[in-house]
Structure 1
Amino acid sequence: MRFVVKVLLLPLVLVSAFLALMLRWTLNLSAFILALPMMYIFGCGLYTLYCREWTQFLILLAAEFGCFLLITAGTLIVEAVEWFSGWIAEL
């Protein structure tokens, strides 16, 4: 009986492992792509601090925080899918 359940769950295990792998690669690629605008926003934020332009600084701070949240949310999604994949594989 246990073998039948494992055979029936095999496609789900393979799909979840493939999804976890693709999400991990996508997260790494998007982090590299998003790093350049984040560095530019950070540099512009330092310049606006130097010029004492507080409104523009707050806008840039919100943009930097939004980029950080995107990467953090992507990491949480990847970790959840990897946990699910491991949980299904253990059944």
Structure 2
Amino acid sequence: MAGGWAKDGAVQDQIDASVEDAVARAKNSMYQGESAEYCEECDAAIPERRRIAVPGVKLCIKCQVLMEKENKVEALFNRRGSKDSQLR
């Protein structure tokens, strides 16, 4: 049940859009291709077990953690919300 100017199913549409965005971000961050033997950032050797577990890996664990901290997405609320839902 939608109220105000929002159409029926607007809340579900917002949820679906948020999920689709999260899936797209996850797919874009997936590795592809052959794993590197040495880290692209620091030239440290990447352990064979990591190369097998994460196909296409290009960074050592230390550099991977640093990169993920820099690229962390903060989503505290749904930015796709309709104006009507934001006014409540």
Query: Going by fraction, where is helix more abundant, 1 or 2?
Result: 1
Task: Verify same fold: TM over 0.5.
Answer: no
Instruction: Tell me: higher relative CO, structure 1 or 2? Use CA pairs within 8 A at least 6 residues apart.
Output: 1
| TM-score (structure 2 length as normaliser) | 0.39
| TM-score (structure 1 length as normaliser) | 0.38
